[in-house]
Amino acid sequence: MLDALLLDLDGESDLTATTVGSWHNISGVTEGSYDVFFPSAFTGTGTPAVVVKLDFSDDASTVKENQESPSIEAGEDHYFMRFAPRRKYVRATFTVTGTTPNLGAVVAGISKGSHRLSRAG
């Protein structure tokens, strides 16, 4: 289940360009999941797609390591990345490709479960 405070994309507007999410404090998490939900079909030409990259940091500034998805193309309705963090913060970057791409009102964020998470601040 996604926590409303840990969303990078809230489904309020369409994902049409590369977007960088907020840093999230993931102290105390031993295993997590970053979930991306695509509620509608991708539109545009040139094969609209997105790559999701998770950056991990000790200070919510300097990236120390990252994890990247394969290219996600039309037809996917949900994609998730499991992670076992060794750093205090995580953020997501959504790299959108294609010609005039529109991936719809995407919802994306950290699945909280029973983990203690908070927004970096």
pLDDT of residue 5: 65
Q: State both tokens at 110.
A: 């950290």
pLDDT of residue 119: 42
pLDDT of residue 121: 42
User: 3-class DSSP state for residue 6?
Assistant: strand
pTM of the model: 0.85
List pLDDT tens digits, range 15-32: 999 999 999 888 877 777
Residue spans of the domains in the chain: they are 2-119
Taking the C-alpha atoms of residue 91 and residue 51, their distance in angstroms, rounded to an integer, is: 14
CB 6 within 8 A of CB 90: no
Which stretches of the chain drop beneath a pLDDT of 70? 1, 3-5, 112-121
pLDDT of residue 114: 41
pLDDT of residue 1: 62
Q: State both tokens at 113.
A: 């479960």
Give 88-111 as a DSSP string: SEEEEEEEEEEEEEE--S-EEEEE
For 2-119, CATH number? 2.60.120.1110
How far from 21 is each of 75, 79, 98, 110, CA to CA, in Å? Answer: 23, 17, 20, 11
